[in-house]
């Protein structure tokens, strides 16, 4: 059925259940407004933008995972155990940050 012989309401609907122009339709429970050309282009542009953002996020996630799995220079392997510990800082204290001296 060509669009010229469709009900006006059906022409502006996105569904495929089209009725002939001789049918009198006041309201349709299945009506979904068909987007205009401008709205459709905006949706496509939004989708393209979302895909580009997803690529950037995926790339950044891979970088962070790689960084997390790569041993940093402040860890040392403990021979024979298969584990690593934080290397002591320049003060010789193996604890991170504050080094307090306990009173005697």
- 3-class secondary structure for 43-60? HHHHHHHHHHHHHHHHHH
pLDDT at 2: 60
pLDDT at 71: 83
Q: Which two tokens stand for residue 18?
A: 């089209």
Q: Please tell me whether residues 22 and 41 are part of one structural domain.
A: no
Question: For residue 102, is it within any domain?
Answer: no
- What is the average per-residue pLDDT within 77-87? 57
Question: For residue 100, is it within any domain?
Answer: no
pLDDT exceeds cutoff 90 at 88:
no
Q: How far apart are CA 14 and CA 35, in angstroms?
A: 8
Question: For residue 84, is it within any domain?
Answer: no
Q: Please tell me whether residues 39 and 65 are part of one structural domain.
A: yes
Please indicate whether residue 49 or residue 72 has the higher confidence score (pLDDT).
Answer: 49
What's the pTM?
Answer: 0.43
33 secondary structure, DSSP code = B
pLDDT at 60: 96
- Pairs from 56-59 (Cβ < 8 Å, separation ≥ 24): none
5 secondary structure, DSSP code = G
Which three-class secondary structure state does DSSP give residue 62?
Answer: helix
> At 58, is the pLDDT very low, low, confident or very high (cuts 50, 70, 90)?
very high
Q: Please tell me whether residues 2 and 26 are part of one structural domain.
A: yes
Question: For residue 3, is it within any domain?
Answer: yes
Any bridge partners for residue 76, and if so which?
85
Asked if 20 and 6 touch (Cβ cutoff 8 Å), the reply is yes
pLDDT in tens, 3-56: 678 998 999 999 999 999 898 888 999 999 999 999 999 999 999 999 999 999
In the chain, the number of structural domains is 2
């Amino acid at each position: 059925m060509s669009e010229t012989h469709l009900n006006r309401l059906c022409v502006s609907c996105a569904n495929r259940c089209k009725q002939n122009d001789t049918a009198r339709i006041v309201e349709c429970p299945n009506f979904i407004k068909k987007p205009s050309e401008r709205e459709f282009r905006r949706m496509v542009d939004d989708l393209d933008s979302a895909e580009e953002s997803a690529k950037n996020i995926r790339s950044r996630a891979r970088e962070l995972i790689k960084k997390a799995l790569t041993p940093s220079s402040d860890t040392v392997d403990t021979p024979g155990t298969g584990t690593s510990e934080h290397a002591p800082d320049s003060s010789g204290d193996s604890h991170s940050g504050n080094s307090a001296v306990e009173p005697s």
